[in-house]
Structure 1
């Protein structure tokens, strides 16, 4: 793997990581609110779904970076 490919890979990972970190407070807030209103089982489902949505957005944003 050459230096250019490593640089692109690091940039994509950094962008995905930043996106995940920006989505984490929203995930925690949605999970805490659901826990308070609907209980533990619903909070687990909501937390999982919001984390999956954040991961999907992070992958999409990382793929926007092309050569």
Structure 2
């Protein structure tokens, strides 16, 4: 039995191809891949979504209580 089978290799290829920013964590037990975790990061510039009169340094902070 191969330590890296075709399904795992294809999953890694797809994860890398789809990932723009982030990380892939591969968990190995007894020399075999048991888990693959993908974390994707998305960043948003809040100032671009505010009306023109409300854009300032202070408004770049993320507020959830609006």
Alignment TM class, shorter chain as reference: 0.3 to 0.5
TM-score normalised by L of structure 1: 0.33
Higher-helix-fraction structure: 1
Higher-strand-fraction structure: 2
Say which one has the larger Rg. Answer: 2
